[in-house]
Chains A and B, each alone.
Chain A
Amino acid sequence: MENKDLIPTVEFCECHQIEFSFINTLNEHGLIKITSIEEKKYLSCDQLKNIEKMIHMHYDLDINIEGIEAISHLLERVDLLHRELNILKNRLDFYKERG
């Protein structure tokens, strides 16, 4: 399977020195998506940043899967609120300019 957007899970786990079971658990909890092609398992590149965050949380900060799930949800909310805040700031500037 040659696809530059997919990384074999074996390679990813080896690279980060982690067990496949960790990735598999993230997948089971719906936090990431493992793609299976011809009995081989892959991760899409666009998930890497998020997975690496979860690796830091688990291996550096000793946070369990349930904690990672809750934090991921809250981080998504923070991101959404951050974007909303930016829109509102711009709208406020708009009305300020209007005097």
Chain B
Amino acid sequence: MEFIDYYKILELDKSAKDEEIKKAYRKLARKFHPDLNPNDANAKKKFQQINEANEVLSDPEKRKKYDKYGKDWMHAEQFEKAGYQQRPGSGASPGGGGHSGGFSEDDFSDFFSSMFGSGGRPGGGQVKYRGQDFNAQLQLDLKDVYKSHQQTLTVNGKNIRLTIPAGVENGQTIKISGHGSAGVNGGPNGDLYITFSISNNTKFRREGSNLYADAELDLYTALLGGEIMLDTFEGKVKLKVNPETQPETKVKLKGKGFAVYRKDSEFGDLYYTYKIKLPSNLSEKEIELFKELSKIRANGK
């Protein structure tokens, strides 16, 4: 646990007046406040430091203690014995007005806890705060989101059973209302935001609710037509191949694609592109017959 220079964080001199602290806090908070920097973990971390610095420097008693012990904070306990008493519920900083954005105890450093204890944290008063939002990432396989299913997640030690909706996209975030941290003093709970990271280990490429794949056709099936078995997400299907099928021909298997998000029982389409495989290691007989075919073609059938 290292000493934290709160003055440096707020870009202030030790002699800074209350008004300067307030001004510096607001200036930096406007730049790094999580509400103004969505999905920016660095900004959130920076704001936590700014908030903590403001929490200490804008409170005369905390500032006095911090200034007195500074780098010798390990001995701060003696200060307590010397008669320092924390004001109950003094967390709402003069500069912050008690609206510091639903920050929880976890948002304060060990240094802060060690010096001021949990009693010095915001939220001790009667102001109701909405609980902090939680963000979680859920790793799933593409097969897991083909159909809606129930899954139990453990978030901050609590088990939450939720329905993973079919068709959810890689990188998509969904909100689970009320499953963030508990509200303070009867305030509403925060929300849980789950971002899905979906890996695809199948032969299919996915674009929205459509799936794409390649199918190999041998020369003779491509020329003469026939039947092939193709994979879909729900097993194999038999497909008729037309005679004289050209390379890169696309066929659509309607409704055999991926689940459509938030539309139960609706599915996109599956597109197969035919890749024609030419025979190799031809026998003499085959070469002879191909030559003959070639002559027929050259002579106008």
Contact = CB atoms under 8 A, between A and B. Distances in A.
B99 A59 contact: yes
B38 A75 contact: yes
A10 interface: no
B150 interface: no
B191 interface: yes
B260 to A, nearest CB: 15
A61 B172 CA distance: 30
B100 A94 contact: no
A60 B207 contact: no
Size category of the A interface is 20 to 34
Given A15-B187, A56-B99, A71-B36, A62 B207 contact: no
Contact of A16 (B29, B39, B99, B207): B99
Nearest to A86: B171
Contacts, number: 72
A55 B99 CA distance: 7
A53 B97 CA distance: 14
B168 to A, nearest CB: 12
B291 interface: no
Contacts of A53: 35
A15 B128 contact: yes
Interface of B: 26, 29-30, 33, 35-36, 38-39, 96-102, 127-128, 130, 169-172, 187-188, 191, 200, 205-207, 212
Interface of A: 15-17, 48-49, 52-53, 55-57, 59-63, 71, 75, 78-79, 82, 86-87, 89-91, 93-94, 97-98
Report, nearest first, the 6 A-B pairs whose CB atoms are least far apart.
A86-B171, A15-B128, A53-B35, A59-B97, A59-B99, A97-B205
